[in-house]
Amino acid sequence: MSTGKLLSAGVFTAIAASLCCITPVLALVAGSSSLASSFSWIEPVRPFLIGFTIAILGFAWYQKLKAQQTDDCGCAVDERPVFFQSKTFLLIVTLFAALMIAFPAYAKVFFLKVKEHR
């Protein structure tokens, strides 16, 4: 499997894992409360999606960090990859996935605190 497909799958599963928590914020911004309940079915499978994301990104890092490729004579190929196949892009995708997975931990900053008067 190519690195690009692994990265796409990792980002997709990270976003899917955080949909149950991101949609209330999106509903708040959009002003549509019915949107918040549309992804509530994802909550029970969230741990599996997180595990799948970690496995995909772990495999992508393994593929990227394994021994350098060699040509027919056994010499190391020193070819500069395009940005979308570089370690920098993989790091950006990994950080984005981590932010999406951790969204429930910092989601409270998007909601206003209501003070109760007694």
116 occurs within a structural domain = no
> Count of alpha carbons within 13 Å of 31, Cβ hemisphere only?
0
Q: What is the DSSP string of 48-66?
A: HHHHHHHHHHHHHHHHHHS
| pLDDT given for residue 62 in this prediction | 87
- Domain interval for residue 94: 3-66+81-110
Using a cut of 0.85, tell me whether the model's pTM lies above it: no
115 occurs within a structural domain = no
pLDDT in tens, 2-51: 667 777 887 787 777 777 666 666 666 666 656 556 666 777 878 888 88
34 occurs within a structural domain = yes
pLDDT in tens, 54-108: 888 888 888 888 866 666 666 666 677 777 778 888 888 888 888 888 877 877 7
Q: How many domains does the chain have?
A: 1
CA-wise closest residue to 64 among 11, 4, 14? 4
| pLDDT given for residue 97 in this prediction | 84
CA-wise closest residue to 17 among 108, 114, 104? 104
